[in-house]
Amino acid sequence: MYIVHSTVNIPESKVDEVIGIYQKRSRMVDEYEGFISFHLLQNEQKPSELTVQISWDSKENYIKYITSDAYKKVHELEKNYPDQELASIRPSVGRYKVVAE
């Protein structure tokens, strides 16, 4: 299994808005080969820190997805988000190979 975390720090006044965006996400990734699960995580100690966690069956399928037109389309939508404060936030990304369960 392969897990990717994308963590962002959101202005406190925008946290509920961003959570709402993810609750209404396109779900295009859900249909992609090798996709296992999507979770939006909120840090209990720092509620303005949100992490997207996506699990894949393999690194290879993750790579196929991030080089796909579907991935580009989703991320182009983010760049064109009308709230420029949110559009300019860049995530910290971590990629993990699961080595024990």
At residue 4, φ and ψ (nearest 5 deg) are -120, 130
Show the tokens assigned to 39. 């979770």
Q: Is 61 exposed, middle or buried (0-12, 13-18, 19+ CB in 10 A)?
A: middle
The pLDDT assigned to 25 comes to 83
Query: Vertex 39, ends 46 and 57: CA angle to 5°?
Result: 135
Q: Parse the chain into domains and list their residue ranges.
A: 2-97
Q: 6, 97 in Cβ contact below 8 A? A: no
Of all residues in the chain, the percent with pLDDT exceeding 70 is 88
Mean pLDDT of residues grouped by 10 in the chain (101 residues)? 96 90 85 95 97 97 93 70 69 95 90
**CATH architecture classification, 2-97:** 2-Layer Sandwich (3.30)
pTM: 0.84
